[in-house]
Amino acid sequence: MIPKIASGISGLDELTGGLPDNTMTLVYGPPKTGKSIFCYQFLRQSVAEDDLCMYLMTDYNLSQLEAQMMAFDWFIAEYIAKKKLYVIDTASGSVGATQKEMKNMMISFPQNPTDIVSKVIQELQSIYQETQRFRSVLDSSTTLFAFNSPILMIRVLKSYTMRIKMAGGTGIITYTEGAAEPQIETMLKATVDNIIHLDGEEMTIEAMAGLKHTDIGYQITDAGIAVG
Amino acid sequence: MAVTTDGLRKTHIPMLDELLGGGMPEGTSILFTAMPGVASDVFGYQIAAERMKNDGDLCLIYTNTKAPVEIEHTFQRYGWDLRKSLDTERAFFIDSISPMMGVPAIGKYVVNDLKDSENVVKNAIPDVAGGTAVIEDVATLLDTIGVDQTFDLIRQLNEAARANDVNILYLFTRWNYEEAMIERLSGIVDCEVKLFSIEEKVIYRQVFAVAKSNWVKTSKIKIFFEVMEPGGVRVFIPKVLVTGPYNAGKTTFTHAIAPNTVSVERQTYELFPTTVGLDIGHIDYKGFSADVFGTPGQERFDLLLEPLGREAIGTFIVVDSTKPETFVRAKEMIRMCRTEAIPKVIIANKSDLPNALSPEEINKKMALWEDVSIVPVSAMNKDGLDQALDTLFNLIYRV
A26 to chain B, closest Cα gap in Å:
20
Is A155 close to B175, i.e. CB distance below 8 A? yes
B333 or B129, greater pLDDT: B129
Same domain, B231 and B300: no
According to the model, what pLDDT value does residue B30 have? 98
Task: Give the 3-state secondary structure of chain B.
Answer: CCCCCCCCECCCCCCHHHHCCCCECCCCEEEEEECCCCCCHHHHHHHHHHHHHHHCCCEEEEECCCCHHHHHHHHHHHCCCHHHHHHCCCEEEEECCHHHHCCCCCCCEECCCHHHHHHHHHHHHHHHCCCEEEEECHHHHHHHCCHHHHHHHHHHHHHHHHHCCCEEEEEEECCCCCHHHHHHHHHCCCEEEEEEEEEECEEEEEEEEEEEECCCCCCCCCEEEEEECCCEEEECCCEEEEECCCCCCHHHHHHHHCCCCEEECCCCCCCCCCCCCEEEEEEEECCEEEEEEECCCCHHHHHHHHHHHHHEEEEEEEEECCCHHHHHHHHHHHHHCCHHHCCEEEEEECCCCCCCCCHHHHHHHHCCCCCCEEEECECCCCECHHHHHHHHHHHHHCC
Same domain, B393 and B290: yes
Choose the closest CB to A112 out of B65, B201, B204: B65
Q: Report which DSSP code applies to A9.
A: -
- Does ipTM surpass 0.95 in this model? no
Choose the closest CB to B66 out of A112, A152, A159: A112
Q: What mean pLDDT do residues B4-15 have? A: 84
Q: Report which DSSP code applies to A34.
A: S
Is position B1 within any domain? no
Same domain, B221 and B172: yes
Same domain, B154 and B220: yes
- Contact residues for A152 (Cβ-Cβ < 8 A; gap 6+): A113, B139, B140, B143, B144, B175
Is A115 close to B140, i.e. CB distance below 8 A? no
Is B175 close to A159, i.e. CB distance below 8 A? yes
Summarize pLDDT for B103-145 with one digit per residue, the tens.
899 889 999 999 999 999 999 999 999 999 999 999 999 999 9
Choose the closest CB to B37 out of A111, A121, A147: A121
Q: Which residues of B touch A152 (CB under 8 A)?
A: 139-140, 143-144, 175
Q: Residue A172 sits in a domain of what CATH number?
A: 3.40.50.300
Summarize pLDDT for A145-202 with one digit per residue, the tens.
999 999 999 999 999 999 999 999 999 999 999 999 999 999 999 999 999 999 999 9
According to the model, what pLDDT value does residue B375 have? 95
How many residue contacts between A and B have a Cβ separation below 8 Å? 84
Q: Which residues of B touch A159 (CB under 8 A)?
A: 36-37, 175-176
According to the model, what pLDDT value does residue B397 have? 73
Last residue of a domain, which of B172, B205, B235?
Answer: B235
Same domain, B122 and B141: yes
Q: Which residues of B touch A113 (CB under 8 A)?
A: 36, 65, 173
Task: Quickly list DSSP for A190-207.
Answer: HHSSEEEEE-SSEEEEEE
pLDDT-derived band at A100 (thresholds 50, 70, 90) equals low
Is A109 close to B69, i.e. CB distance below 8 A? no
Is position B274 within any domain? yes
B284 pLDDT above the threshold of 90: no
Is position B218 within any domain? yes
Interface residue ranges in chain A relative to chain B, Cβ cutoff 8 Å: 94, 96, 98, 109, 111-115, 117-118, 120-121, 124-125, 128-129, 132, 147-149, 151-152, 155-156, 158-159, 163, 166-168
Rg (alpha carbons) of chain A, rounded to whole number: 16
According to the model, what pLDDT value does residue B237 have? 82
A125 to chain B, closest Cα gap in Å:
6
Q: Which residues of A touch B65 (CB under 8 A)?
A: 111-115
Is position B110 within any domain? yes
Q: Which residues of B touch A132 (CB under 8 A)?
A: 201, 340
Is position B10 within any domain? no
Interface residue ranges in chain B relative to chain A, Cβ cutoff 8 Å: 34, 36-41, 65-67, 69-70, 73, 97, 100-101, 137, 139-140, 143-144, 173, 175-177, 201-204, 338, 340-341
Burial tier of A184 (Cβ tally within 10 Å: 0-12, 13-18, 19+): middle
Choose the closest CB to B176 out of A114, A158, A168: A158
Same domain, B177 and B260: no
Question: What percent of chain B stands above pLDDT 70?
Answer: 93
Q: Which residues of B touch A111 (CB under 8 A)?
A: 65-67, 97, 100-101
Please give the backbone phi and psi of residue A54, each rounded to the nearest 5 degrees, phi first. Answer: -100, 120
Distances (CA, A) of B67 to A96, B4, B80, B110, B174: 9, 38, 17, 12, 21
Is B140 close to A152, i.e. CB distance below 8 A? yes
Same domain, B181 and B261: no
- Least CA distance to A118: which residue of chain B? B37
End-to-end CA distance of chain A: 24
Summarize pLDDT for A65-91 with one digit per residue, the tens.
999 999 999 999 999 999 999 999 999
Q: Residue B311 sits in a domain of what CATH number?
A: 3.40.50.300
Q: Which residues of A touch B66 (CB under 8 A)?
A: 109, 111-112, 115
Distance CA A208, CA A7 (A): 13
Please give the backbone phi and psi of residue B361, each rounded to the nearest 5 degrees, phi first. Answer: -65, -40
* Strand B288-294 to B278-285 pairing: antiparallel
Question: What percent of chain A stands above pLDDT 70?
Answer: 97
Burial tier of A19 (Cβ tally within 10 Å: 0-12, 13-18, 19+): buried
Is position B63 within any domain? yes
Same domain, B243 and B333: yes
Same domain, B218 and B280: no
Is position B29 within any domain? yes
Same domain, B197 and B297: no
Is B140 close to A149, i.e. CB distance below 8 A? yes
B92 to chain A, closest Cα gap in Å:
20
Number of domains in chain B: 2
Other residues' Cβ atoms within 10 Å of the Cβ of residue B179:
7
Helices and strands, number each (H, E), in chain A: 9, 12
Tell me the angle at which helices B117-124 and B147-163 cross, rounded to the nearest 10 degrees.
10
Distance CA A33, CA B153 (A): 44
Last residue of a domain, which of B187, B219, B235?
Answer: B235
Is A111 close to B202, i.e. CB distance below 8 A? no
The whole domain housing A62 covers: 4-227
Is A118 close to B101, i.e. CB distance below 8 A? no
Distance CA B106, CA B128 (A): 18
Other residues' Cβ atoms within 10 Å of the Cβ of residue A82:
11
B102 or B21, greater pLDDT: B21
- Least CA distance to A126: which residue of chain B? B202
CA angle, B144 then B145 then B148, to 5°: 130
A119 pLDDT above the threshold of 60: yes
- Contact residues for A88 (Cβ-Cβ < 8 A; gap 6+): A54, A55, A56, A57, A106, A107, A108, A116, A119, A120, A123
Contact predicate B223/B235, CB 8 Å: yes
Number of domains in chain A: 1
Same domain, B122 and B103: yes
- Least CA distance to B335: which residue of chain A? A129
Burial tier of B370 (Cβ tally within 10 Å: 0-12, 13-18, 19+): exposed
Please give the backbone phi and psi of residue B212, each rounded to the nearest 5 degrees, phi first. Answer: -160, 145
The whole domain housing B359 covers: 239-397
Backbone torsion region of residue B367, taken as left when φ is above 0, otherwise alpha when ψ lies between -120 and 50, otherwise beta: left
What is the sign, positive or negative, of the torsion defined by CA atoms of A36, A41, A47, A52?
negative
pLDDT-derived band at A129 (thresholds 50, 70, 90) equals confident
Same domain, B105 and B79: yes
pLDDT-derived band at B266 (thresholds 50, 70, 90) equals low
Contact predicate A138/A169, CB 8 Å: no
Is position B7 within any domain? no
Q: Which residues of B touch A118 (CB under 8 A)?
A: 36-39
Last residue of a domain, which of B235, B260, B275?
Answer: B235
